[in-house]
């Protein structure tokens, strides 16, 4: 049970497929977590607010915290689709907590991955996040979406691979083991790739990323070349963020760690493993609201 003198903290990580909430205190850390429905502010703000509240209440109940004490809590919500301060204010004003800070889900991801330290994050999964965290402020490179950004990501690798396969099929460039292997996934039918591409989402392209990682590791020339190209983008992103040799760097996401082999050694001196996820980051940022008081 909760000591009534203790400040309650709430962290929320919300995205298009679901949200998660953590409730706890400074001394005990997270007391309980709960999962809930989707919470993308851009697609449906009303639903996001509803799902977030339900999920926070569920976490509080698990922790044995009465709902009517939550109005004294300090909360940090990291939500996908938050693009403007208007979005943040809209959601924050509907929360019944003492203090609510709403950000996009990148700052919570960065804080979680770096465990609250200053440093740099390259989170590479279906998409790409490159970020710097310095004394509680965040800087980003990219994050503009698959169609015009997300270089080095799984979706980017997969789409580049299919483009390459078709160039091989047409005889413009030479097949490698990797392009043969990927073409075989479409029964060597170029029309099937074309049809796939019409409705393919970033996640669909991303399903080919593991093959590319494996092919590159086995020395496939095209595989190595595309991973190198992705790594060059990541190095450029770190440079733009002010990274210097010796700074803390976390490579996270399904693909991040795989790029280590293609990054220059001076980037990897102070490499750390990911400390935690975006929910950890949200809870950590909520706790820092207490410290600021």
Instruction: Region of 136 please: left (phi>0), alpha (psi -120 to 50) or beta.
Output: left
Least Cβ distance, residue 10 to its own copies (angstroms) = 28
- Pairwise CA distance, residues 122 & 125, whole Å: 10
Could you say which of 30, 32, 200, 272 contacts its own copies (CB under 8 A)? 200
Could you say which of 46, 171, 187, 293 contacts its own copies (CB under 8 A)? 171
Instruction: Give whichever of 160 and 289 is closer to its own copies, judged by the CB atom.
Output: 160
Could you say which of 170, 265, 291, 293 contacts its own copies (CB under 8 A)? 170
Q: Is 162 in the site for its own copies (CB under 8 A)?
A: yes
- Burial category of 161 from C-beta neighbours within 10 Å (exposed 0-12, middle 13-18, buried 19 and up): buried
Least Cβ distance, residue 17 to its own copies (angstroms) = 18
Could you say which of 68, 148, 187, 291 contacts its own copies (CB under 8 A)? 148
- Pairwise CA distance, residues 115 & 106, whole Å: 14
Q: Residues touching its own copies: how many (CB under 8 A)? A: 31
- Pairwise CA distance, residues 73 & 282, whole Å: 14
Long-range CB contacts (< 8 A, 24+ apart) of 158-161? 158/204, 158/205, 158/206, 158/207, 158/208, 158/209, 158/212, 159/197, 159/200, 159/205, 160/226, 161/208, 161/211, 161/212, 161/226
For residue 74, give the 3-state DSSP assignment. strand
Could you say which of 28, 118, 163, 188 contacts its own copies (CB under 8 A)? 163
Stretch that binds its own copies, among 120-128, 144-152, 208-216, 244-252 (CB under 8 A): 144-152
Helix axes 154-169, 177-184, angle to 10 degrees: 90
Instruction: Give whichever of 139 and 214 is closer to its own copies, judged by the CB atom.
Output: 139
Least Cβ distance, residue 240 to its own copies (angstroms) = 4
Q: Is 90 in the site for its own copies (CB under 8 A)?
A: no
Could you say which of 3, 191, 246, 265 contacts its own copies (CB under 8 A)? 191
Could you say which of 2, 47, 240, 275 contacts its own copies (CB under 8 A)? 240
Least Cβ distance, residue 191 to its own copies (angstroms) = 6
Could you say which of 119, 142, 215, 281 contacts its own copies (CB under 8 A)? 142
- Pairwise CA distance, residues 197 & 85, whole Å: 35
Instruction: Mark out the alpha helices in the chain (DSSP H runs).
Output: 45-63, 85-92, 105-113, 154-169, 177-184, 190-199, 202-206, 209-217, 221-240, 278-292
Q: Give 88's contacts (C-beta < 8 A, 6+ positions apart).
A: 82, 101, 102, 103
Stretch that binds its own copies, among 53-61, 191-199, 250-258, 277-285 (CB under 8 A): 191-199
Q: Is 86 in the site for its own copies (CB under 8 A)?
A: no
In DSSP terms, 171 is beta-bridged to none
- 262: tokens are 């293609």
Stretch that binds its own copies, among 6-14, 138-146, 269-277, 279-287 (CB under 8 A): 138-146
Q: Is 272 in the site for its own copies (CB under 8 A)?
A: no
Instruction: Give whichever of 145 and 264 is closer to its own copies, judged by the CB atom.
Output: 145
Which residues are at the interface with its own copies (CB under 8 A)?
A: 83, 140-142, 144-145, 147-149, 151, 159, 162-163, 166-167, 170-173, 190-191, 193-194, 197-198, 200, 233, 236-237, 239-240
């Amino acid at each position: 049970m909760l000591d009534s003198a203790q400040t309650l903290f709430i962290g929320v990580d919300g995205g298009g497929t679901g949200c998660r909430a953590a409730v706890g205190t400074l001394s005990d850390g997270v007391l309980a977590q709960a999962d809930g429905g989707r919470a993308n502010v851009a697609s449906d703000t009303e639903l996001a607010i509803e799902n977030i509240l339900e999920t926070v209440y569920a976490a509080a109940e698990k922790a044995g915290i009465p709902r009517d004490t939550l109005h004294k809590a300090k909360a940090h919500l990291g939500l996908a689709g938050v693009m403007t301060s208007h979005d943040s204010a809209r959601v924050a004003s509907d929360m019944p907590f003492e203090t609510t800070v709403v950000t996009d889900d990148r700052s919570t991801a960065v804080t979680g991955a770096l465990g609250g330290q200053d440093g740099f994050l390259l989170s590479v999964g279906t998409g790409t996040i490159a970020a710097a965290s310095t004394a509680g402020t965040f800087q980003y490179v990219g994050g503009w979406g698959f169609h015009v950004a997300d270089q080095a990501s799984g979706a980017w690798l997969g789409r580049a691979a299919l483009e390459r396969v078709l160039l091989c099929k047409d005889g413009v460039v030479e097949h490698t083991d990797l392009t043969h292997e990927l073409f075989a996934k479409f029964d060597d039918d170029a029309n099937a790739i074309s049809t796939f591409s019409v409705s393919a989402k970033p996640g669909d392209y991303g399903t080919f990323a593991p093959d590319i990682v494996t092919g590159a590791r086995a020395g496939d020339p095209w595989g190595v070349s595309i991973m190198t190209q992705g790594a060059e983008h990541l190095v450029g992103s770190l440079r733009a963020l002010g990274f210097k040799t010796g700074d803390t760097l976390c490579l996270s996401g399904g693909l991040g760690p795989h790029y280590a082999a293609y990054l220059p050694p001076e980037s990897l001196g102070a490499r750390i493993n990911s400390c935690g996820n975006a929910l950890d980051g949200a809870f950590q940022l909520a706790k820092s609201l207490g410290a600021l008081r």
